[in-house]
């Protein structure tokens, strides 16, 4: 599991495998290559390294944390 944190360092989602979940444990999208898409397959964000950015422009959405055990996301 990897957390998805905003620019202030607050986690707002997490990634298990290639599936993105909200903090309410609801699937909200998936990672496809270097793009996060919504459940319908529409590109939402792009991923460069650990950074997550708007599809267009340079707006930083947040960052993916290092891999950690799945039971730690509730911590």
> How many structural domains comprise the chain?
1
State the CATH number of the domain containing residue 41.
2.40.220
Residue 75 is assigned to a structural domain of this protein: no
Render pLDDT for 5-53 as a digit per residue (tens, 0 to 9). Answer: 999 999 999 999 999 999 999 999 999 999 999 999 999 999 999 999 9
Structure tokens belonging to residue 3: 């957390």
Structural domain for 10, as ranges: 2-70
Alpha-carbon separation of residue 33 from 9, 24, 39, 72 (angstroms): 24, 25, 15, 25
Q: Is residue 64 part of a domain?
A: yes
pTM of the entire predicted model = 0.86
Residue 35: inside a domain: yes
């Amino acid at each position: 599991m990897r957390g998805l944190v905003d620019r202030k360092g607050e986690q707002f989602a997490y990634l298990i495998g290639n599936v993105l979940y909200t903090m309410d444990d609801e699937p909200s999208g998936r990672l496809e290559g270097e793009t996060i898409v919504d459940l319908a397959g529409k590109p939402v964000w792009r991923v460069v390294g650990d950074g997550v950015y708007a599809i267009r422009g340079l707006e930083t959405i947040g960052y993916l944390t290092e891999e950690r055990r799945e039971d730690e996301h509730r911590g």
